[in-house]
Chain A
């Protein structure tokens, strides 16, 4: 059946082709003459491009079907139904024509980004997107070959103007897709980063910052920024940093913790560090990190009690004289 369709397609193309030839022959002839003189006017390329866009527009339905057929033959976009492929193909085709005609890729870029937004969550891969755009390029090139095969000079010039434009479009679509992907990845990284260092308000003006997992330099830096922002926003006076969930610590990170504590002090908050494991405590001592500035308490419970005392919370009535 495919065979038949292609057969009829190519028949139709030949018919149209001959008709076109007949109607355009004076123009074509004058072009050939221009070619003979070999001085190609710079406006010629544009005209050619317009002509070829007009031709491709005329044959929109047929070429689009052919393209959709090629897509399913190549087993691309299998997550999408045939109708979806066809409707997207229509849009891509029209945008493709616009981009070819105007040479401006902005609309196409926007469309490609929207398309990527739609299809990335459905699991469409980069190779598929590039594949379908290249298929369209090839399908159109084929139709150009078929149309201009009798005039090699003209075909060459048509292809000269078609190919760079088509390649630019393919690159644009590919890049838009990849950019969209990267944007999604970036957003997710951001979300993970935000989640990995929550600054929690325990009581009025008392924050806790539980750290779990690996504390590397970039995370330590980000932690500092988040903590200082939270101190300002919550007008915190006491912060408890709990590192029970941190397995190891190196000198850089230890120094960074010291700096965090110092910076918090400059913001008017005192910091209590809790949950230093025996290993970490020994490492810090061996490394010679100066922790004299730090107030450390063995566990989170003790840290919170100390913090509440510092922040002025008291479990029972007590005289104000001892502070």
Chain B
């Protein structure tokens, strides 16, 4: 499978290496949902930098991953969307509402840290 999954503390980094088939997308979704529980993850970062196209299917899968992970207590951040891909996604009018995005991995980890601090204060 062409997704590299690394764990760093309580954050999981899933780096997609090449365009995914629909089956692979579903597998990824399944796998992440399981890992959130087993590692007691706080955050997931999905790097889509290698994707030339993010179509409606992938977007829906990403949304599903985000919502699933959220239900299991982890925040998901998408990183590495290329400018052309961003334009295309917007023009296809894909529903991107629950997606949280960051420019790169650094940024995403910083976001998760900030959220964690805030979470500690708010109590949730």
Contact = CB atoms under 8 A, between A and B. Distances in A.
Contacts of B87: 224-225, 228, 259, 263
Interface in B35-89: 78-79, 81-83, 85-87, 89
B89 A263 contact: yes
A267 B86 contact: yes
Nearest to A228: B83
Interface stretch (A172-180, A196-204, A231-239): A231-239
A225 B99 CA distance: 22
Given A268-B101, A268-B102, A263 B107 contact: no
Nearest to A229: B83
B59 to A, nearest CB: 11
Interface in A211-248: 224-225, 228-229, 231-232, 235-237
A265 interface: yes
B86 A263 contact: yes
Given A262-B96, A268-B79, A321-B121, A231 B90 contact: no
A224 B83 CA distance: 9
Task: Please classify the interface of chain A as helix (H, G, I), strand (E, B), loop, or mixed, using the class held by over half of its residues.
Answer: helix
Interface residues of A, number: 20
B89 A237 contact: no
Contacts of B83: 225, 228-229, 231-232, 263, 267
A323 interface: yes
B22 to A, nearest CB: 22
A197 to B, nearest CB: 15
A269 B79 CA distance: 11
Contacts of A39: none
B118 A268 contact: no
A138 B121 CA distance: 92
B5 interface: no
A237 B103 contact: yes
B86 to A, nearest CB: 4
B86 A228 contact: yes
Interface in A294-323: 321, 323
B80 to A, nearest CB: 9
B86 A266 contact: yes
A267 B83 CA distance: 7
Nearest to B99: A266
Contacts of A225: 83, 87
B124 to A, nearest CB: 16
Interface string A257-299: 0010011111111000000000000000000000000000000
Contact of B89 (A232, A266, A323): A266
Given A232-B83, A262-B96, A268 B90 contact: no
A226 B81 CA distance: 15
Task: Among B103, B118, B121, find the residue whose CB has the most chain A CB atoms closer than 10 A.
Answer: B103
B19 interface: no
A290 B91 CA distance: 15
Contacts of B118: 323
Contacts of A268: 79, 81, 101-104, 107
B103 A259 contact: no
Nearest to B79: A268
B90 A235 contact: no
Nearest to B117: A320
Q: Which of B85, B86, B87, B107 has the most CB of A within 10 A?
A: B86
Interface of B: 78-79, 81-83, 85-87, 89-91, 96, 99, 101-104, 107, 118, 121
Given A224-B87, A265-B96, A268-B104, 19 more contacts: A228-B86, A228-B87, A229-B83, A231-B83, A232-B103, A235-B104, A235-B107, A237-B103, A237-B107, A259-B91, A262-B90, A263-B86, A263-B90, A266-B85, A266-B86, A267-B103, A268-B79, A268-B101, A268-B102
8 contacts: A229-B83, A236-B103, A237-B103, A259-B87, A266-B81, A266-B96, A268-B79, A321-B121
Shortest Cβ-Cβ A-B pairs, 4 listed: A228-B83, A268-B103, A263-B86, A266-B86
